[in-house]
Amino acid sequence: MRRILSSLLTLLAVTQIQAQQQRAPKLVIFITVDQLRGDYIEYFQHTFGERGFKRLLAEGAVCHNVRFGFSNLNQASAFATLFTGAYPSVHGITGLKTYSFETAKEVSQLYDADYLGNFTRDNYSPRNLLAATIGDELKVVSGGRSEVYAIAPDAEAAILSAGHAANGAFWIDNYNGRWATTTYYKGVPWYVEKYNNGNESLPARLGTRVWQPALSPDRYDALPCLSGPNAFQYTFKANTAGCYPDLKTSPFGNEEVSRLFNQFLEYGALGTRPTPDFVALTFYAGNYRGIRYSGNTREIQDLYHRLDKELERLIDAVEKKVGLQHVLFVLTGTGHFTSEEVRPEGTRWVGGEFHPKRCMALLNMYLMAIYGQKNWVREFYNNQVYLNRKAIEEAKIDLGEIQARAATFLQEFSGVERVTTDMTLRSGVWNENVIDLSRGTYRGRRGDLMLALSPGWTVVNDDNAKDRPKVVRNQAVPTPVIFFGNGIKPQHIYREVKAVEIAPTVTHVMRIRSPNAGDALSIPEIR
């Protein structure tokens, strides 16, 4: 009897282990929709089908309120955070670009002269990403057997979601319209080469593409204060300036991402290996490039309507090819929305104009009155003041002292809400604002002083009259994260979820360890 009981217990234990193993997905598809807004999903859902957004919301585990929790949120810092589970202070990516004092100009944070481009003139690598991604951890624990790819309209999204150890990262080149990558990643799959050089490539199909409304005029009724004409039409012609950057912010950009992913689905044997595969896809849900409105357009609703159709086709194709029970879908946004504020002429408004160049000139004069005739201010970039560290060192001036004096002076300017010094961040004198700022900056690349400008104020670039003035807006963008497939229990979670919790949640479902820089725990409701 004991032997029978022991055998039954052993069998039960083995069965439970096997069941647990079966719950690990064979394929993870992480979809990031740049500038996705949860409120827009709600507003536009009357134009959605039943198997796109609506299916994800009905059958998935939906966390409605994702908070990124750091300052100066942008596309690059959001992607790096989502896939590493760490803040910019750790992973090092604080924006799309950084200021190079050697060349005195902006450079991409991905620029790397050691690597060439495939189907592009750009030199990129993930070298400045200082933390591992989900895909990196998967490659390590699988002994390199898992396939990891990223497909996105832009290089930043592709490389930062792929990471260091991925098989490849692909994006649409701004000049030739082909799927580009970097020689940092070893090789290009044959089917991508064939796609790029064949009749299915974007340049071969482009001809003249026209974006017109997909719905009847009466269906664009979700936003009461619509801007722009009643009808719209945008034409995309090859060999015209800005053609491909424009296209990437239209529904056609999302369509191209799906088309390339279909090549991987058809020929890449995704989800058939003993270890999981991982694909990061990026779609776009922001304003069309060049439109000077704040999101109240027919174009934005049309974009969401077409994105819904794209998601439906993608989910159906994956379900048919791999099986929904074997696939984990993750869908989230980047937590920000880029828009330009156009105020009606004659409208009264709070705030004024802030001129950084004038401000820096006055700051330098103030410091010269104290410390002598030198150029103490080196650069103002991304609301940060970079002092002349070499001159400060040569003059044997205490860095903390000059930063504090400069901060006190700048704090008196109209439109300046708060000034924080680098020394303050290093000293550990914390409050909520300082914590967000510390998380959103990287100690090796931030300025000596960080300015927070008051909402409603307009930042004017006196060096470039063509630069459109930027209106300061501190606006929380509702961003969801949805986990779908692989036996995930449908539920709605309305409490605040941290963006750094998403990566460890994904790795938890995958049954692998979290990325090496992410110290947040997984979302407990997702199992």
174-187 residues labelled b (16+ CB within 10 A) or e (exposed): bebbbbbbbebbee
pLDDT single digits (tens) 194-234: 999 999 999 999 987 899 999 999 999 999 888 777 789 99
pLDDT given for residue 146 in this prediction: 98
Q: What is the DSSP letter of 144?
A: T
pLDDT single digits (tens) 313-355: 999 999 999 999 999 999 999 999 988 777 777 777 888 999 9
- The domain defined by 353-471 carries CATH number 3.30.1360.150: yes
How many residues can be counted in the chain? 527
pLDDT given for residue 14 in this prediction: 40
Helix (H) or strand (E) holding 118: strand 117-118
pLDDT given for residue 465 in this prediction: 66
Give percent above pLDDT 90 in the chain. 80
**Rg for the chain, CA atoms, rounded:** 25
Mean pLDDT of the chain: 92
pLDDT given for residue 451 in this prediction: 96
pLDDT given for residue 476 in this prediction: 83
21 pLDDT tier (thresholds 50, 70, 90): very low
Looking at 65-79, 342-356, 366-380, which range is the least confident one?
342-356
Please give the full DSSP string across 269-327, using - where no structure is assigned.
-TT-SSS-EEEEEEEE-SPPTT--SSS-BHHHHHHHHHHHHHHHHHHHHHHHHT-GGGE
pLDDT single digits (tens) 113-165: 999 999 999 999 999 999 999 999 999 999 999 999 999 999 999 999 999 99
User: What residue ranges do the domains of the chain occupy?
Assistant: 25-341+478-510, 353-471
**Which residue is it, tokens 């089908």?**
49
Q: Domain 25-341+478-510 belongs to what architecture? A: 3-Layer(aba) Sandwich (3.40)
- Is 353-471 in the same CATH topology as 25-341+478-510? no
